[in-house]
Amino acid sequence: MFDKLRRHLTLSYSIWLILTLFVVFVVLFFSFRARIYEVEKENLADAVKMERQSLVENAILQEKPRYGLYIIGIKEADGRLILKETDSSPAVKEVSDYFHSATCCQADPTIIKLKHQSEDERYMLASVRITNEKGQTGTLFAAKNLSAVHEQMENWLIMLMITGIAAFLLSILIGDRLAKRAMNPVIKNVERQRRFSADASHELRTPLSIFSASIEVLEEEEKDRLSSSGREILTDLKEESELMKKMVEDLLVLAKYDHHKMELSKEWFSLSELAHSVQQEYKMVVKTKQTILLDEREKDIRVFGDKLKCKQLLYILLDNALKFTESDGEIRIQLEKKREFAIVKISDNGLGIEEKDLPRIFERFFQGDEARSPKYGGTGLGLSIAKAIVDAHNGRIEADSKFGKGTSVAVWLPLKK
């Protein structure tokens, strides 16, 4: 139980951490990307400014090389395009075609993606209006290759991903240690409670047995001399002592389960025959007023488990159903197979369980508001024992209920060893 809780806490912490890191990394990446584009815009604006100044002063484009990062061109008023580059590569041709069709002087540089390149090649494009000595106007275009920038951003993204994965793995390791350390006091406290329950149950068995025997002797020897109120008190004492004995036995069963000492004598047996036998016992021996029906959707379902413990499981579930169902009510035992499980479902049309109480019905000593009434009695340990038996068989138990309409408890037992 604690290992599962520790894993759950560790996973929860790690998921929250990775989500936080993801948000931080996304913000960092897009901030970094925006900043790089701002720098590239400034560089492109400087290049356009220098080329324009060179044209004004020298009537020619700058001769200073730009290491192949820039493509510079002038589109004259008649539409003729003059390129600074003599390179006839497909990239230059495609960018020059874009110069032909582009309009002048956008507020912000435009990013274009080349269509006919094998790689993801993009250029940032800017343009300004220019006027020559004759008063003729034209457009100066400049495009900068962003391949190096995108490669830099890809490397940055890869680095963030590697850092995130490393941080996630480290968080699992550290989270597991912290969860273990945080749970140590809880584990010790629960272990002390379990030890106390087991020790107290062992110590109480003998005094309770003596107390019950003394009541029986007193009832036998003094019954003629006791008043009606005395006999009533003696009957109450007898009932309470039986209830205490049952509670002590239940606590001992749960203590064995807690310490993984619940002994199971596993064998192949017919669950169908067991359910039929229990149904007949309640009809003939217990003589219940409620109707108990057996619905076998499949015949002779066989499971590998402890027959006596499974019988005790059916007793607990039927006792609960009978306790909270009126005398004219109906209880149904349903048997079926689904994939690798045998399913036993016990349904009633009795009192039902309030929705707020449903998640807690398998907790020890838990009883809903209605179930606490002296009319129903009980210790609140029956369903805890039922769950312990099911868990020991590697099965599962589920409950569904609507208050005022009835309850259905389904037990899933594995068909294989």
Tens of pLDDT, residue by residue over 14-49, are 788 788 888 888 898 888 888 888 888 888 888 778
* pLDDT at residue number 66: 47
Strand residues in 199-287 grouped as ranges (E): 266-270
Which of 74-78, 256-260, 305-309, 385-389 bottoms out in mean pLDDT, i.e. has the lowest?
256-260
Q: Which residues have CB under 8 Å from 16's CB, separation 6+?
A: none
Separation CA 83–CA 361 (nearest Å):
83
* pLDDT at residue number 149: 81
The pLDDT of 148-174, averaged and rounded, is 83
Which two three-digit tokens encode residue 177? 């240690």
* pLDDT at residue number 65: 43
Separation CA 257–CA 389 (nearest Å):
8
pTM of the predicted protein model:
0.52
Separation CA 324–CA 334 (nearest Å):
19
Determine the straight-line distance between the first and last CA of the chain, rounded to whole angstroms.
23
For all residues of the chain together, what is the average pLDDT?
Answer: 78
* pLDDT at residue number 276: 92
The pLDDT of 60-82, averaged and rounded, is 64
> Which comes out higher in pLDDT, residue 203 or 115?
115
Separation CA 71–CA 51 (nearest Å):
11
> Which comes out higher in pLDDT, residue 182 or 348?
348
Q: Which residues have CB under 8 Å from 254's CB, separation 6+?
A: 197, 364, 381, 384, 385, 388
* pLDDT at residue number 390: 92
Pairing verdict, β 302-306 and 291-296: unpaired
Tens of pLDDT, residue by residue over 365-417, are 787 765 554 555 667 788 888 898 899 899 999 999 998 889 999 999 998 76
Separation CA 416–CA 302 (nearest Å):
9
* pLDDT at residue number 201: 57
- Measuring CA to CA, which residue among 280, 279, 356 is closest to residue 321? 279
* pLDDT at residue number 7: 76
**What three-state secondary structure class fits 401?**
strand
pLDDT band at 80 (very low <50, low <70, confident <90, very high): confident
Estimate to the nearest angstrom the gap between the alpha carbon of 283 and the chain centroid: 44
The pLDDT of 214-241, averaged and rounded, is 77
Q: Which residues have CB under 8 Å from 311's CB, separation 6+?
A: 274, 277, 278
* pLDDT at residue number 376: 59
Tens of pLDDT, residue by residue over 192-221, are 666 666 556 556 666 767 777 787 777 777
308 near 265, Cβ under 8 Å? yes
**What three-state secondary structure class fits 247?**
helix
pLDDT band at 107 (very low <50, low <70, confident <90, very high): low
Separation CA 414–CA 237 (nearest Å):
43
* pLDDT at residue number 407: 93
* pLDDT at residue number 57: 61
The pLDDT of 158-187, averaged and rounded, is 80
In terms of average pLDDT, the best of 192-206, 245-259, 272-286 is 272-286
Q: Is 67 a residue whose pLDDT tops 50? A: no
